[in-house]
């Protein structure tokens, strides 16, 4: 590799590292079964502030408002989203706020008054593909990666929670280090495979490893992107 190509590659990597947001949207209706809320403490501790993280625990008018709350000067080119779909799959569920009459983050929320078009949205969301395949979302993200099924995480043990936190951390790492959407998806795939290998080798039945093996295998089979046909 020539010095110029090496420099261009490193410059691009630096640019991607400084234009990514990790976004958590817990949902009170899930109660103790809210996997997003369950992984937030452990994952944010591991990430140590990089990439920037936003916990949207109540509705705001637009994504732009959320970015302003972080003091972001530029809109992110990539977002890693941990959230829940609504039952109607018309967006992502959010806790309503008394002053903001919103309970669903629809495509219009992401666009808002100051349009934000992402290069890539990595939605670690149950049936996120069902939401993102709707035509209006093409104005939000040029490309996306998500799942065509539910992501059932067994979090009833400390070992189970730690396993899913590591997977989530690697999903974030995939978005940071992948040079394009295909690279990111392959890295997400690898994160699940690595977790499955660890679970298979350990097989702590009492900790729910068998359940999580089945859950992860199913999710991995349904990892899709914006170019896949439904």
Asked whether residue 171 is assigned to any structural domain, the reply reads yes
- What would the two tokens of residue 73 be? 């000067």
Note the pLDDT of residue 68.
84
pLDDT in tens, the chain (230 residues): 566 655 555 555 555 555 899 999 999 999 989 999 999 999 999 999 889 999 999 999 988 888 888 876 667 899 999 999 999 999 999 999 988 889 999 999 998 655 556 899 999 999 999 999 998 998 898 899 999 999 999 999 999 999 999 999 999 999 999 999 999 999 999 999 999 999 999 888 888 999 999 999 999 999 999 998 76
Note the pLDDT of residue 65.
86
Spatial contact of 172 and 51, defined as CB atoms under 8 Å apart: yes
37: domain CATH number?
3.40.50
Note the pLDDT of residue 98.
87
Note the pLDDT of residue 7.
54
Note the pLDDT of residue 14.
55
Asked whether residue 230 is assigned to any structural domain, the reply reads no
Asked whether residue 204 is assigned to any structural domain, the reply reads yes
Cβ-count burial of 33 within 10 angstroms (0-12 exposed, 13-18 middle, 19+ buried)? exposed
Asked whether residue 47 is assigned to any structural domain, the reply reads yes
Asked whether residue 27 is assigned to any structural domain, the reply reads yes
For residue 154, the enclosing domain spans 3-225
Note the pLDDT of residue 19.
85
Radius of gyration (C-alpha) of the chain in whole angstroms? 17
- Number of other CB atoms surrounding residue 197 within 10 Å: 10
- Structural domain count of the chain: 1
Strand ranges of the sheet holding 118-125, from the earlier edge strand across to the other edge? 53-55, 20-24, 78-83, 118-125, 141-147, 223-225
The alpha carbon of 26 is separated from its chain's Cα centroid by a whole number of angstroms, namely 12
Note the pLDDT of residue 207.
83
Spatial contact of 112 and 59, defined as CB atoms under 8 Å apart: no
Asked whether residue 46 is assigned to any structural domain, the reply reads yes
Asked whether residue 72 is assigned to any structural domain, the reply reads yes
Note the pLDDT of residue 177.
93
d(C-alpha 75, C-alpha 77), whole Å: 7
Cβ-count burial of 150 within 10 angstroms (0-12 exposed, 13-18 middle, 19+ buried)? middle
| Residues with Cβ within 8 Å of residue 76, at least 6 apart in sequence | 19, 20, 21, 67, 116, 118
β-strands 104-105, 53-55: how paired? unpaired
């Amino acid at each position: 590799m020539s010095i110029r190509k090496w420099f261009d590659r490193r410059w691009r990597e630096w640019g991607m590292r400084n234009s990514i947001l990790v976004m958590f949207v817990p949902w009170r209706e899930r109660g103790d079964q809210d996997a997003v809320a369950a992984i937030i403490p452990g994952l944010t501790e591991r990430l140590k502030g990089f990439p920037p993280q936003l916990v949207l625990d109540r509705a705001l008018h637009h994504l732009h408002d959320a970015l302003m709350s972080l003091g972001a000067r530029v809109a992110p080119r990539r977002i890693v989203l941990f959230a829940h779909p609504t039952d109607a799959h018309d967006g992502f569920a959010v806790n309503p706020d008394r002053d903001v009459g919103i309970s669903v983050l629809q495509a219009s929320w992401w666009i808002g008054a100051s349009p934000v078009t992402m290069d890539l949205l990595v939605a670690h969301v149950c049936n996120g593909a069902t939401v993102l395949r709707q035509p209006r979302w093409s104005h939000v993200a040029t490309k996306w990666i998500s799942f065509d099924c539910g992501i059932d995480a067994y979090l009833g043990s400390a070992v189970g929670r730690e396993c899913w936190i590591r997977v989530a951390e690697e999903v974030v790492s995939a978005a940071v280090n992948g040079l394009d959407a295909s690279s990111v998806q392959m890295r997400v795939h690898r994160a699940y495979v690595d977790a499955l290998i660890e679970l298979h080798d350990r097989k702590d039945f009492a900790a729910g490893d068998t359940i999580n093996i089945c859950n992860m295998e199913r999710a991995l089979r349904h990892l899709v992107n914006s170019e896949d046909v439904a």
